[in-house]
């Protein structure tokens, strides 16, 4: 993840509060159905799971295959963003110290809870 993303997530871990919609961002709205911009930089990137709308694309600049989150709004839903924030706070106060495995498990737990909630 980009350093700016790690720093931004750490700010929210310290604040323990969601951002909400960021109408001042030059990219707003970056996704259709956007409810929350706290995790502009997805803490799970690259998740490589298509169930939330992500997919591999060919980069226009490098010509290489890259993971695209263009159609993913998973972490932009307010209830999901709150669960992610709670989970990250529980794991550690510094995002850089959270392992990829811990992030993967947190994501899986949130998705499973969301699926069972929607049944």
What's 25-81 look like in SS3?
Answer: CCCCCCCCCCCCCCCCCCCCCCCCCHHHCCEEEECCCCCCEEEECCCCCHHHCHHHH
The rounded mean pLDDT for the chain is: 86
2 backbone φψ class: left, alpha, beta (φ>0; ψ -120 to 50)? beta
Q: Classify 65 as helix, strand or coil.
A: strand
Would you state the pLDDT for residue 119? 62
Please check the confidence at residue 55 and state whether its pLDDT lies above 80. yes
Residue range 8-51, pLDDT digits in tens: 888 888 888 999 998 898 888 887 788 898 988 888 887 887 88
């Amino acid at each position: 993840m980009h350093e700016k993303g790690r720093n931004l997530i750490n700010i929210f871990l310290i604040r323990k509060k969601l951002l909400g919609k960021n109408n001042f961002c030059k990219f707003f709205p970056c996704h259709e159905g956007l409810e929350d911009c706290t995790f502009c930089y997805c803490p799970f990137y690259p998740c490589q799971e298509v169930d939330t709308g992500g997919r591999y694309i060919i980069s226009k600049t490098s010509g290489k295959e890259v993971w695209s989150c263009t159609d993913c709004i998973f972490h932009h839903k307010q209830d999901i963003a709150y669960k992610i924030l709670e989970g990250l706070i529980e794991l550690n106060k510094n995002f850089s110290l959270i392992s990829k495995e811990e992030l993967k498990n947190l994501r899986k737990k949130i998705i499973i809870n969301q699926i069972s909630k929607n049944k």
